[in-house]
Amino acid sequence: MAGLTYDAGALVAADRSDRRLWALHKRALERGRVPTVPAGVLAQGWRGGPQAQLSRLLKGCRIEHLDESRARAAGAACGIAKVSDIVDAAVVVGAAARGDVAITSDPADLSHIADALALFLEIERI
């Protein structure tokens, strides 16, 4: 099993107790693979207040910081793909670099960016 990178749709699914997402997450952890959540994705999914399910998910994840090099890569990806969503671009660039499967509720957006960059990215809809 490859690693996993979650986008905001995956975090929403976790917060809604989506069984399929939780099964993917459990399998990854059992196999010693810590899913990645880019910091921008966390910002999109976190709404404050008690988000018990999301908090539980995040305890088993690695939060990927948006440092200068990642910010530049995401910005360049947006320019090439002619999109404005730097969070989607960061998901694509990071997941492709790690060989992760991107877990998303909107595969078309991620596919468009990956295709524009000529990157192979496995995407699974949740």
The average pLDDT across 29-34 equals 96
pLDDT at 1 over 70: no
Confidence of residue 49 (pLDDT cuts 50, 70, 90): confident
> What are the domain boundaries of the chain?
4-125
* Residue 90 exposed, middle or buried by CB count within 10 Å (0-12, 13-18, 19+): buried
Please state the φ and ψ torsions of residue 33, each to the nearest 5 degrees. Answer: -105, 120
Q: Give me the amino acid identity at 105.
A: S
State the pLDDT at residue 50.
Answer: 84
| In the block, residue with structure tokens 């969503």 | 85
Q: What is the mean pLDDT of the chain?
A: 96
Q: How far is CA 78 from the centre of its chain?
A: 16
Question: Per CATH, which fold does 4-125 belong to?
Answer: Rossmann fold (3.40.50)
91-107 pLDDT, tens digit per residue, is 999 999 999 999 999 99
pLDDT at 28 over 90: yes
